[in-house]
Structure 1
Amino acid sequence: MIVAEHLTKRFADKTAVDDVSFTVQPGKVTGFLGPNGAGKSTTMRMIVGLDRPTSGRTTVAGQDYRALRAPITEVGVLLDAKAVHGGRSALNHLRAIAATHGIPRSRVDEVIDLAGIGSVARKRAGKFSLGMGQRLGIAAALLGDPHTLILDEPVNGLDPEGVRWVREFVRHAAGEGRTVLLSSHLMSEMAQTADHVVVLGRGKVLADAPLGDLVRAWTTTTVRVQSPRATELASLVAGPDIRVTSPAPGVLDVEGATAASIGDTAAHGGIPLHELTTTSGSLEEAYLALTETAVEYKTKEFA
């Protein structure tokens, strides 16, 4: 378990993290989201002792990370895949890390195979592509077979097969009861991976909730209806809390009513239906709505 309590970090007159509190439970994948500059990476760095909080504290499995006797066997961390000696091979990089914790070479071979870098294991890490560098970073994070994983943008630069592998791996790790904190800007991927979501914006916690609850709270469910008597059905379905629009002849988009209630209304009126489809909101829609006023670096919109 990872616990952050009233965590604050200031750099001169800039408050990067502002009174942040959350808990990452074991057995779940917790997605860590937020716009650029929201404080996600700074928070992760404080969890693993790379930055000292201005105030507040973090613990991993009930302890300060810096108090862990063998950190790599407790916490697997990927914060910067480029943090590797470019002149060393991937194999020697991992062997050097393993030697500091008494981890056998057989485990090095295991994580190389697990991360899919066997064919380049003896090549210099400095020559790696972005995706291969990410795989090496993930291999290093897994070296100590840790119970807790903290992964910052692990799928950055990976091809589709690599992205799927990371998704399946972290789901499997959580299924084994491990604690997983995962940061990513890929909302579609996070929607398939995370159980719980913590969202930061301008250094503050904007949301801390199960993924499904977050999506339902910040998006609208729409029912698409097609009928040759759509205009008649629209008048029957309409109500004070129901919004009906018609994007095309014979087509209705209904918000505020369920597909079942619309179907019952149509059946009662003898109105034929050609389509009755429920479209739920996405994590991306919820995220954009939630962080709309918390984006620090906003780009110009196209007309």
Structure 2
Amino acid sequence: MIEATGLTKRYGAKTAVDGISFSIQPGQVTGFLGPNGAGKSTSMRMMVGLDRPTSGTVTIMGKPYAEHDAPLAVAGALLDAKGVHPGRSARSHLRALAATHGIPERRVDEVLEMTGLSAVGMKRVGGFSLGMGQRLGIAAALLGDPKVLILDEPVNGLDPDGVLWVRQLVRYLASEGRTVLLSSHLMGEMAQTADHVIVLGRGRIVADAPIDRLIASAQTDRVSVRAPEAARLAELLLRVPEVRVEHGADGSLTVEGVPAAVVGRAAFESGVELHELTPVRSSLEDAYLALTRDDVEYRTDAAHAFPPAA
């Protein structure tokens, strides 16, 4: 379990983390989301003692990380996959970690096998791809067979097979009763992996809920429509207050503001033939964007992001 109470971190006049409190439970994967600059990485660094809180506390298994006798057996973390000497081999890097923490050397072979790095264990890390570096970082996090796993963007640089492997790994570890905290900007992947989500915005918690509940909170009346007379149907629907209609490049319509039954009735009464009428479910991305739209550090006006086509 990871518990934070009033956790705050300031760098001079800038407040990176602003009095947040949460409890991350064992037996589930908890997603840690937020725009760049929201305070996710700073919070993770404070969890494992790399940054000291300005005020408040964060504990792992009831104690600050640094106070545990065998910290790697309590919590393993991937915060910076590049934090390895490029001249060392993967195996020597893991052996050094194992030796300094009293971990049997056989565990090095186990985590190399677990992460698919056995064949390149003697190669220098400087020649590793981004994905291989991520796998090595995960191997280091698993070295102490920890009860808590903290992973910051673990699928960065991984191919689809690697992404699937990380998903299956963290789900398996959670099923064993371990605490898993996972940060990622890939909403689709997070939706398939996490049980619970904590969302940060400008250093504060803007959501802390089961993922299904968070997605349901963003649900709106939105319908996908295909019809030979789409333009006429759109004209009819726009007479209804609060209705918005978007025209797709493929001739489809996305109608927002009324349920599918209302669209179907309007089409029937006006004699418009329908080829498709599908309610559109909200996604984790919809919920996330709604929660953080005022908290992004950099904002681009999509209408002016690219020059018009010649």
Do both share a fold (TM > 0.5)? yes
Matched residues in 2 for 1:295 and 1:268: separation?
45
Cα deviations by residue, 1:177-199 (Å, 9 ceiling, x for unpaired): 21111111111211211111111
Q: Helix, strand or coil for the counterpart of 1:81?
A: coil
Aligned partner of 1:295 in structure 2 is 296
Aligned partner of 2:278 in structure 1 is 277
Say whether 1:10 aligns with 2:28. no
Residues 232 and 127 of structure 1: CA distance in aligned 2, closer, same or farther (over 3 Å): closer
Matched residues in 2 for 1:79 and 1:173: separation?
18
Please tell me the residue identity of whatever aligns with 2:278: T
Aligned partner of 1:167 in structure 2 is 167
Checking the alignment, whether the CA contact within 8 Å between 2:39 and 2:203 is kept in structure 1 is yes
Q: Please show how residues 173-192 of structure 1 align to structure 2 within 5 Å.
A: 173-192=173-192
Aligned partner of 2:130 in structure 1 is 130
Count of matched residue pairs: 302
Task: Give 1:5 deviation, angstroms.
Answer: 0.8
Say whether 1:212 aligns with 2:212. yes
Checking the alignment, whether the CA contact within 8 Å between 2:2 and 2:59 is kept in structure 1 is yes
Aligned partner of 1:20 in structure 2 is 20
Matched residues in 2 for 1:262 and 1:30: separation?
38
Task: Give 1:119 deviation, angstroms.
Answer: 1.8
Please tell me the residue identity of whatever aligns with 2:30: T
Q: Helix, strand or coil for the counterpart of 1:83?
A: coil
Q: Helix, strand or coil for the counterpart of 2:288?
A: helix
Task: Give 1:244 deviation, angstroms.
Answer: 6.5
Task: Give 1:126 deviation, angstroms.
Answer: 2.3
Residues 188 and 232 of structure 1: CA distance in aligned 2, closer, same or farther (over 3 Å): closer
Aligned partner of 1:223 in structure 2 is 223
Matched residues in 1 for 2:61 and 2:102: separation?
22
Residues 227 and 61 of structure 1: CA distance in aligned 2, closer, same or farther (over 3 Å): same
Deviates more, 1:273-282 or 1:80-89: 273-282
Task: Give 1:271 deviation, angstroms.
Answer: 9.0
List runs of 5+ in structure 1 lacking aligned partners.
Answer: none
Deviates more, 1:214-223 or 1:68-77: 214-223
Matched residues in 2 for 1:12 and 1:246: separation?
46
Please tell me the residue identity of whatever aligns with 1:220: T
Task: Give 1:283 deviation, angstroms.
Answer: 1.8
TM-score normalised by the chain length of structure 2: 0.85
Residues 221 and 134 of structure 1: CA distance in aligned 2, closer, same or farther (over 3 Å): farther
TM-score normalised by the chain length of structure 1: 0.87
Deviates more, 1:244-253 or 1:100-109: 244-253
Q: Please show how residues 1-303 of structure 1 align to structure 2 within 5 Å.
A: 1-226=1-226, 243=243, 245=245, 247=247, 253-255=254-256, 259=260, 274-299=275-300, 301=302, 302=305
List runs of 5+ in structure 2 lacking aligned partners.
Answer: none
RMSD: 2.9
Matched residues in 1 for 2:280 and 2:127: separation?
45
Residues 251 and 96 of structure 1: CA distance in aligned 2, closer, same or farther (over 3 Å): closer
Please tell me the residue identity of whatever aligns with 2:287: A
